[in-house]
Amino acid sequence: MKTTRDELLERGKEIVCREGFGAFSYGMLAGVVGIRKASLHHHFSAKADFGLALLERHLDRLEGERAAAEFDTRRGSAAMRGWLRDRREHLADGARLDLLTAFALAAPDLPEPLRAALGKARDAVTARSRSRATSRTRRARSSRWSKAASSPPARRVMRPRSIACSAASKPA
């Protein structure tokens, strides 16, 4: 069962992805959720606290995805199709921006703790990309090594040149 805090974070993410974090306000969130603006301060004392909670929740999700990606046996194209399907669903819900992009656009105006959390999220995305690339490389190498180990090395057979070839190649 969702708590009020979870509901606020979920609806707030939708607004931030649609409008950007700079344009986000407690008034917008209160209108969407159907509670008073003052009630939001019970859960998040300031907009920066809300943004920090939103980024931490997103970072937890990214870490879970990174851990799952390490055990993902799909090939790169299947993983990319999955990512594109998720992105298409995100955009179909009315979002214009990815959550991290929405925060990055407002980065110059963000307080330091929020910028630090944005940096951690950026690092998590980078680590996730590296993890996927490393696992793909590892799978490709093991596939090549297993193929090489199962078949004997190919020998190059040196054949003597035929007399007709050698006679044709001599200058007259």
pTM over 0.75: no
Q: Residue 166: its pLDDT value, please?
A: 47
The pLDDT tens digits along the chain (172 residues) read 788 899 999 999 999 988 889 999 999 999 999 999 999 999 999 999 999 999 999 888 877 766 666 565 555 666 667 767 777 776 777 767 888 888 888 888 889 999 998 888 888 777 766 665 565 566 566 655 555 555 555 555 555 555 544 444 455 5
Query: In the 3-class helix/strand/coil scheme, how is the chain assigned residue by residue?
Result: CCCHHHHHHHHHHHHHHHHCCCCCCHHHHHHHHCCCHHHHHHHCCCHHHHHHHHHHHHHHHHHHHHHHHHCCCCCHHHHHHHHHHHHHHHHHCCCCCCHHHHHHHCHHHCCHHHHHHHHHHHHHHHHHHHHHHHHHHHHHHHHHHHHHHHCCCCCCCCCCCCHHHHHHHCCC
The CATH number of 4-148 is: 1.10.357.10
How do the domains of the chain map onto residue ranges? 4-148
